[in-house]
Amino acid sequence: MVWEKMSVNVHLHNLRKRYGRQVALDGVSLDLVPGEITSLLGPSGCGKTTTLRLIAGFETADDGEIYFDRKQINKRPPEKREVGMVFQNYCLFPHMTVQENIAFGLQMRRQGSAEIREKTERILDMVQLAGYEERRPSELSGGQQQRVALARALVIDPAVLLLDEPLGALDKGLRESMQFELKRIQRRLGPTTIIVTHDQEEALTLSGRVAVMKNGKVVQSGAPKDIYDRPRTRFVAEFLGGANLFSGIVTGRKSDAFGCVASRRETFVFPWPEMSSIQVGSSVTCAVRPEHIHFGKPGEGDNSLSVKIADSIFRGTSRTYEAWPDGYDAPLQVISSSDRNQVTDMSYDKPINIYWNPENMMVLEEE
Ligand SMILES: Nc1ncnc2c1ncn2[C@@H]1O[C@H](COP(=O)(O)OP(=O)(O)OP(=O)(O)O)[C@@H](O)[C@H]1O
Ligand SMILES: [Mg+2]
């Protein structure tokens, strides 16, 4: 038997879903790239699981459409959708063995017993659980249960794979090795994949695209680096990693691509996106990532500040500094990983210059 790669283009258009008065989805639109992993991120209750349940067909949308390769599939029952799903809490059948759990989807699809045996063996090998066929879920560790759930979703050779916080229950070490395993299996079988995660690092590591949700809507989607470097709003900037935030007023353009923003006594340069709603005179939130700030000589860099270092924390591969600019009511966090930038205890009370490149200055739109 040959396992063919068959991944589909998934297009969600303006999906709406209410539970009584509770609005779960308020117009979700999203395009998934065939064969690629998209991470769905967002705070608890923003509609991530609901989105997956609609794609899998376990719920129906009140409004909006779901397309697989331009075919509208809103009314198609779950078993006719070629979708594999790993549920937020695994949802293994407790009374069934590992083998029976995995075979269940194939039996639902009325496949023959020889074929079922071959496919379950193959998938058990893939998730490294050969030999565990006869155990029940209660006799497995969390990581092993997670792999059974993954095997159960993959065994039907899904065109679309939905993973709802599949690594949520695992400790850091197991989580990281499972991330590699997941990525390897996904690449080998090639389904169009959505992974829901609360772990933004996991999202940035695993996926080719990231979609950030808030209050039942996708507020920004794109390549992980673009979302990280060019968040449109404060919500997205803060949701994806640490950011130093301060307020400013846009004072004008510096060139076609760059603008100037004034904050207290300083003026900073920022990239002015073509399609942005920012205008001269707008009050904006400025943001800069801690790892984009460097220590330098006085006056070095277009965007610089004189600060005093108040404290620092050693974090193994890097050190995080608290840098107080004169007259600010909160310190900026600076993360430095290179020895060159280490500030010695001697200089804690002396003013020191920090700077960041204009490309790393984020000016955020109002939501
Ligand atoms: N069956 C249901 N009945 C009533 N309300 C529901 C139901 N399922 C979800 N909701 C509500 O819809 C909203 C979205 O829920 P959803 O489970 O999609 O959130 P989520 O983003 O997956 O959150 P989490 O990160 O906590 O898993 C929430 O306010 C939730 O309480
Ligand atoms: Mg959920």
pLDDT of residue 3: 45
Task: Identify the band that residue 128 occupies on the pLDDT scale cut at 50, 70 and 90.
Answer: confident
pLDDT of residue 157: 87
Among 36, 34, 31, 37, residue whose Cα is nearest residue 14: 31
193 lines ligand 1 (CB under 6 A): no
pLDDT of residue 121: 94
48 lines ligand 1 (CB under 6 A): yes
Helix pair 98-108, 113-126: axis angle to 10 deg:
130
Residues with CB under 5 A from ligand 2 (ion): 49
46 lines ligand 1 (CB under 6 A): yes
Give the domain ranges of the chain: 10-229, 242-364
Distances (CA, A) of 259 to 269, 272, 277, 366: 6, 6, 13, 17
What separation in Å is there between the alpha carbon of 41 and the centre of ligand 2? 10
Q: What percentage of the chain has pLDDT greater than the value 90?
A: 59
Q: What is the mean pLDDT of the chain?
A: 89
pLDDT of residue 343: 61
pLDDT of residue 311: 86
pLDDT at 31 over 90: yes
Distances (CA, A) of 233 to 34, 92, 257: 28, 39, 19
Residue 53 CA: which ligand 1 atom is closest? Answer: 18
Which residue's alpha carbon is nearest to atom 27 within ligand 1?
A: 44
Mean pLDDT of 112-128: 91
Question: How many helices and strands (H and E) does the chain possess?
Answer: 8, 20
pLDDT at 305 over 80: yes
Residue in 40, 49, 87, 239 to alter for ligand 1 test, most ligand atoms within 8 A of Cβ: 49
Task: Identify the band that residue 6 occupies on the pLDDT scale cut at 50, 70 and 90.
Answer: low
pLDDT at 185 over 50: yes
216 lines ligand 1 (CB under 6 A): no
Alpha carbon distance 97, 84 (integer Å): 19
Alpha carbon distance 327, 304 (integer Å): 15
Which residue's alpha carbon is nearest to atom 31 within ligand 1?
A: 45
What separation in Å is there between the alpha carbon of 222 and the centre of ligand 1? 24
What separation in Å is there between the alpha carbon of 144 and the centre of ligand 2? 21
Mean pLDDT of 159-168: 91
- CB atoms closer than 10 angstroms to residue 5: 13
pLDDT at 2 over 70: no
Alpha carbon distance 81, 79 (integer Å): 6
What separation in Å is there between the alpha carbon of 213 and the centre of ligand 1? 13
Mean pLDDT of 241-265: 91
Distances (CA, A) of 57 to 26, 40, 126, 228, 241: 18, 18, 27, 32, 33
Residue 52 CA: which ligand 1 atom is closest? Answer: 18
Question: What residues pair up with 314 in beta bridges, in sequence order?
Answer: 319
pLDDT at 1 over 50: no
What separation in Å is there between the alpha carbon of 215 and the centre of ligand 1? 11
Task: Identify the band that residue 10 occupies on the pLDDT scale cut at 50, 70 and 90.
Answer: very high
Tokens of 256: 């076609």
**Comparison of pLDDT for 4 and 360, the residue scoring more:** 360
What separation in Å is there between the alpha carbon of 215 and the centre of ligand 2? 13
Tokens of 71: 């075919």
Alpha carbon distance 108, 241 (integer Å): 42
Q: What percentage of the chain has pLDDT greater than the value 70?
A: 96
157, 3 contact by CB (below 8 A): yes
Task: Identify the band that residue 19 occupies on the pLDDT scale cut at 50, 70 and 90.
Answer: very high
Q: Which CATH class is domain 10-229?
A: alpha beta
pLDDT at 172 over 90: no
- Residue labelled with tokens 């490149």: 357
Mind listing the pLDDT tens digit for each residue in 330-342? 899 999 875 555 6
The backbone torsions φ and ψ at residue 361, rounded to the nearest 5 degrees and listed phi first, read -90, 120
Burial 13-47 (b: 16+ CB within 10 A, else e): bebbbeeeeeebbbebebebebbbbbbbbbeeebb
pLDDT at 158 over 80: yes
- Residue labelled with tokens 């999202």: 203
